[in-house]
Structure 1
Amino acid sequence: MSKVPSVIHWFRLDLRIHDNLALRNAINEAENRKHLLRPIYVLDPNIKSKIGVNRLRFLIQSLQDLDTNLRKLNSRLYILKGNPVELLPKFFDQWQVKFLTTQVDIDPEIVDQEEAVEKIAEEKDVFIIKRVQHTVYDVYSVLKKNNGAVPLTYQKFMSLVNDIQVKEAKDISKVVSDYCKPTDEDLDAYDVPKLEEFVDESTLTPCKYPGGETEAIKRLNNYMAKKQWVCKFEKPNTSPNSIEPSTTVLSPYLSHGCLSPKLFYHKLKEAESGMKHSDPPVSLMGQLMWREFYYTAGAGTKNFDKMVGNPICMQIPWVKKEEYIKAWAEGKTGYPFVDAIMRQLKQEGWIHHLARHMVACFLTRGDLWVSWEEGAKIFEDYLLDYDWSLNAGNWMWLSASAFFYKYFRVYSPVAFGKKTDKEGLYIRKYVPELKKYPTAFIYEPWKAPKSIQNTAGCIIGEGYPHRIVDHEKIHKENMQKMSSAYRMNKEKKAMKRSIS
């Protein structure tokens, strides 16, 4: 047991030093009271079975970078392995903890853990400080401003936050005093684990997006230096199938908290200052505000990540077809554009936002009639930038279950990709079995004559699968199903109103 009381900063979502108010509070408390400072991260020993390898690699890299940056401040990161609810009470006693600082989040699983830990902390007289720093705005204050109601449109959300001042993001540069640095135990036991402890690194594809605050700041500064590009950015005009990303790919750094959304906000304001620029919702600022919109909706909606019991979600009789889910997840639907997107996602952990639109629509209302919850689970596994509220919100939008109701607007798995990549270079990269197909058939290889299939070295049905469904036929049938579901939901709501 430590003879000197401790202050803990619990890193959960914000794996960074800059704009970390909770960490700043922990440092100040430790300095003022001459307590020991212990920044911690609680790692689930079974994490390998819960998230995909790309996200696991990104997380480990982010933790390693965080530890490096903390050491520059004369501190370090303590990795604790286990369940926070079972683990932290033991360390409260062992380290004589007096203060605990952490971040506010809305993910129900995290909130449940935090509430359990807070109850124990109260019993042990541990004072807790929580800071809003994973979002630009305090989403609970936004909800309060709207009389507790969830803003169901982007425009309504923007009207609520339009007059809210966003405080500047601040760095932490003060070096921690030696008397706040623990030396009373085997510190090696708390080191950040190496990736090789979880996976065979030789089986991984090359890392395109290294995790960590250092890389986040570097990437942010590189893009913000391109003021003309920032000001002209419009999401619909970017390419979902460019070989190199046509967007910033800052989303994984935001979701892991390696980049402060407030810092991003102010850097965007700075880049736009005095210049003609695009506006929300299509601008870069608009994209950041979409994140805030979904966080607000997620914070105020019960069962936000489910269909049943979710008050804003359309109840639709989806059918669970395991063979469809498997083919879609593995990029073997027989539609090259869809398959290329899913294979890129599995290999690299990231795909363009419009590519997400394509495959989400295809899985749900467009073609396969599978629940958006199934797609959300697979995205949770694959995405580097997985975020509980954004994942659920976007899937509801693309399945026309909430927020967006023009279900008759269906993405074509053939025509949509051709708009920005007529030659099919993207398909040739991620679906290499089709790389020798003539351009005329690269999006529709089933139309190629047998002689061309032979020449290209890939027979449809052998080297590449037959189409899982006929899009032209099935999407029309699915529109009729959506129409019926909408009508039934409307009738149920009318009945509830008449009873009440």
Structure 2
Amino acid sequence: MKHHSVHWFRKSLRLHDNPSLIAALKSSRKIWPIFILDPHFVKSGTVGINRWRFLLESLMDLDRSFKELGSRLFVIQGSPAEVFPKIFKDWEISQLTFEIDTEPYARQRDPEVIKLAEEHEVKVVQTVSHTLFDSEKIIKANGGKPPLTYQRMQTVLSKMGPPSEPMAAPTKEDFTECKTPEESDHSSKYGVPTLEDLGLSTKGISPVIFPGGETEALNRMERYLARDKWVCNFEKPKTSPNSLKASTTVLSPYLKFGCLSVRSFYYGIQAVYSGKTHSKPPVSLHGQLLWREFFYTAAAGTPNFHQMKGNPVSLQIPWDENRAFLDAWTWGKTGYPFIDAIMTQLRKEGWIHHLARHAVACFLTRGDLWISWEEGERVS
């Protein structure tokens, strides 16, 4: 029997290489692609205006892509615990699909949603697509604990074989037998809200430099992959945080939100490398993706990795508490021009070069201010 399926977007805000979405399409006669605007994030105060704008742009881009396929994106405001029982009942859902997320809040949220699905006799399908590999399989291959050095990570991965190849995006043909019911008032009920709708102030917001969405992500990736020599010679430490035009790909936010598949980028780089002399990990472009994989795996296998307390791999440091210093760092008013310029760029553009990130993080913590990295993480 064909399902009535909900595909739940969280990260992976894209159509290409989205195996859980494809699983829903292949097994269903009706599908509702949804994104839940969770008040946990709206009210947290740790999500800055640039990040919100990037997310909403990504959702609008995703909805446009669905429209071209004869479907729509349903954006629903509320907590997952409130939203799912209602839509399970109202839409007579029999299957829920989504991508595995190993981050702390997701690890608390997802088991609760799976329990709700079981209570409503809804089948749950989860797939891995936000990382190159399944983090749990890496941990298992390393004897049940995450690799805690880059070199050990490389050794483990060398025995696991290459990542799975990316899947193609769905086409109109995929939606001929699997339809999305659309109500006449869809835009007012399920449309992507504006920043103002969410109660977010746009006063003083800077122009968009890096627009969100899968379309921009793929275009940006292809522009860089077309530069064969640049790709082959890329070494991260030799790029500049001071250049007026970004000296790196600036694909990190697109990978973070899943607008771009990390596997698509990995195999795109691989195609450029083929038959050519090229740089190697850890400094190469492939090396950067492996750094990403390393930290996702370490976080997935380490309790409380996102904080100092209860984190077995974190030094337990008696940090100072100095609100005046923290505010000066946050708003670029430390009196150190390089640090202040970086923090101003971060606030206005929402992105900074990785060497700039190192500089401001060091200045905040062990370098100068002796303030906890957790305080820096909360700055929006």
TM over 0.5: yes
Structure 1: stretches of 5+ with no match in the other structure: 382-500
Map 1:76-475 to 2 at 5 A. Answer: 76-163=72-159, 164-175=161-172, 176-177=175-176, 180-183=179-182, 186-188=185-187, 189-198=189-198, 199-201=200-202, 203-378=204-379, 381=380
How far off is 1:165 after superposition?
Answer: 2.3
Show the 5 A alignment for 1:29-108.
29-30=27-28, 34=29, 36-45=30-39, 47=42, 49-108=45-104
- Partner in structure 1 of residue 9 of structure 2: 11
Query: 1:74 touches 1:178 (CA, 8 Å); kept in 2?
Result: no
For residue 197 of structure 1, report the CA deviation from its aligned partner: 2.4
Cα distance in 2 for partners of 1:283, 1:248 equals 12
CA distance in 1, matches of 2:121, 2:106: 22
Residue 196 (structure 1) shift: 3.9
Cα distance in 1, alignment partners of residues 74 and 57 from structure 2: 15
Q: How many residues align?
A: 372
For residues 328 and 352 of structure 1, the distance between their equivalents in structure 2, rounded to whole angstroms, comes to 17
Residue type of the partner of 1:144? K
CA 1:69–1:317 in structure 2 vs 1: closer, same or farther (change >3 Å)?
Answer: same
Displacement of 1:203 after TM fit? 2.7
C-alpha distance in structure 2 between counterparts of 1:308 and 1:195, whole Å:
34
Q: Distance in 2 between matches of 1:292 and 1:321?
A: 34
Pick which of 221-230 and 317-326 moved more: 317-326
Q: Counterparts of 2:48 and 2:256 in 1: how far apart (Å)?
A: 15
Deviation at 1:85, TM superposition (A): 1.2
Relative to structure 1, the CA distance from residue 50 to residue 94 in structure 2 (aligned partners, 3 Å threshold; closer, same or farther) is farther
SS at match of 1:97: coil
Report the alpha carbon displacement of residue 187 of structure 1 after superposing the two structures with TM. 2.1
Relative to 1, partners in 2 of residues 1:186 and 1:361: Cα closer, same or farther, differing over 3 Å? same
Does the CA-based 8 Å contact 2:34-2:75 persist in structure 1? yes
TM-score (norm: length of structure 1): 0.72
Report deviation, 1:201.
4.3
CA RMSD in angstroms, aligned pairs only: 1.6
- Amino acid paired to 1:158: Q
1:21 aligns with 2:19: yes
| Contact 1:44 1:82 (C-alpha < 8 Å) held by counterparts | yes
Q: Which residue of 2 aligns with 1:448?
A: none
1:200 to partner: Cα distance:
5.0
AA at the equivalent of 2:42: I
Superposition deviation, residue 174 in structure 1: 2.6
Deviation of 1:202 after TM superposition, in Å, equals: 5.8
Asked if the contact 1:5/1:95 (under 8 Å) is kept, the reply is no
Q: Report how far residue 44 of structure 1 moved.
A: 2.6
**How big is the shift at 1:172?**
2.2
AA aligned opposite 2:258: G
Partners of 2:103 and 2:264 in 1: how far apart?
Answer: 22
Structure 1 residues 53-87: Cα deviation after superposition (integer angstroms, max 9, x where no partner): 00000000000000011111211100111001121
**Residue 61 of structure 2: SS of its match in structure 1?**
helix
Distance 1:151 1:43, change over 3 A: same
SS at match of 2:13: coil
Change (3 A) 1:323 1:180: same
The SS at the match of 1:218 is helix
> 1: CA distance between counterparts of 2:203 and 2:86?
37
Q: CA deviation at 1:183?
A: 4.1
Cα deviations by residue, 1:403-453 (Å, 9 ceiling, x for unpaired)? xxxxxxxxxxxxxxxxxxxxxxxxxxxxxxxxxxxxxxxxxxxxxxxxxxx
Aligned residues: percent identity?
48
Q: Distance in 2 between matches of 1:343 and 1:179?
A: 48
SS in 1 for 2:8: strand
Asked whether the 8 Å contact 2:46–2:378 carries over to 1, the reply is no
1:473 match: none
**How many Å apart are 1:20 and its aligned residue?**
0.3
- TM-score when scaled to structure 2? 0.95
Query: In the aligned structure 2, how far is the partner of 1:179 from the partner of 1:236?
Result: 48
Q: Which runs of 5+ in 2 are unaligned?
A: none
Describe the superposition over 1:378-409 as per-residue Cα deviations: whole angstroms up to 9, x where unpaired. 2xx2xxxxxxxxxxxxxxxxxxxxxxxxxxxx
